Structure 1
Amino acid sequence: MRIYHLDPEGRPFGGFDSLSRQLWKERHYLIAAMNGGMYQPDLSPVGLFVEHGFERQAISTKSGWGNFHLLPNGVFWLKGGRAGVAETSLYLRERIAPDYATQSGPMLVIDGEIHPRFLPDSDSLKIRNGIGVDEKGRVQMVISEAPVRFYDFALLFRDQLGCRNALYLDGTISSLYVAGTSRRDGLFPLGPIIAVIGTVR
């Protein structure tokens, strides 16, 4: 599993097809992928982005408008074959120094608790996608098939998937790629992309 953003020429991949073509040149192939965090109009990450151990975009601790700033937000990280989701302030305290990381928000589940700002009777229903890590260390990547409220989406991660920490990735632009199926979303341009890859043998 890796997190991608720019191609070798320094341009955002922008979608699954261009990433898949580049991976093939490197004798890898795309197994599954999902949009991996919020981004600016130029497709650059809004918050922290780490690739190959290098911090490409600094972490954001600012409050502001929109879902990213519905604090607490958090970071999905990969290091040495392990994965985790941490609330932003905890991530900073632990000094994880990941191989790959992307920041998004809000957190869905924080140490087993639903985000305090989520309402069980909210009328905000959207397609949503998110990511969590369960008690066995397995990464759970989820996209809803129908519009769903934040609260119910968070319950899925906590109560059905066993994730004590889970992170919201995005809503309207939520996109998924799954090899061997017809699922290859390409309606919206993408910033960071979380991908599971294989090696051509």
Structure 2
Amino acid sequence: MRNSVPLLVILGLITLLSCTDEPELSTSTCGDAFVYNSGTDSFTLRAVPRSVWIELEDPENPEVQIAALFAEYTFLDDTTFPQGNYLNRFPALLKSTSCESLYEALEILNQDEKIAAATPRLKLEGPGIFDNTPWILVNTVSIQPFDASDDAMIVEWAEIQGLELKNESFGTLRFRVKEVRSGFEPLEIAIKAQNELDVKWALADFIVPIFRGSHAKKKLTILQV
């Protein structure tokens, strides 16, 4: 991916699995824009219609749970049911390509107690962005303080924002949103942290498409955060 976004965006992510080729996504984007800073760079993120990322609350028997979700929610496109999925996090497509349907589906899915979080896929726009393949927003926010003595202050701030500490690795605090409603909360809180906290960086975590070789087909790499 040729752009000016630093590797901090995917810091701490561990590759688990490369999946089959993704189905075609909508080339349009929704109007709502998020101005996002990554290091010294600033760019715009816009949601892509039709595509959602779902994380199940219970990691047991994910394929059975996924089948039940597709049966329950008729707005999910059952022609793209991820057969043979053994992970509790997976991509899903909606039947409708409208932005209104995307926002409504995210709200409905996030009210389901069986779902830990449903989040959108977002496309990057701005100077230096040469690849507009959408990134998947996941329900974690990573913050690195200037000094470990600031950890307590950051954790207190995060709790006020509705975050809970998930883990700490290499000086980075990783949080999850306790109650996701719209699906955009991880990005919104990361942007708020950039504006309010004096830290090295504060970033939403994404799953990023990986390309292998100049003529390789696109693969979606599932990343554990």
Structure 1 or 2, whichever has the larger Rg, is 2
Calculate the TM-score normalised by the size of structure 1.
0.25
Higher relative contact order (CA 8 A, sep 6+): 1
Structure 2-normalised TM-score? Answer: 0.24
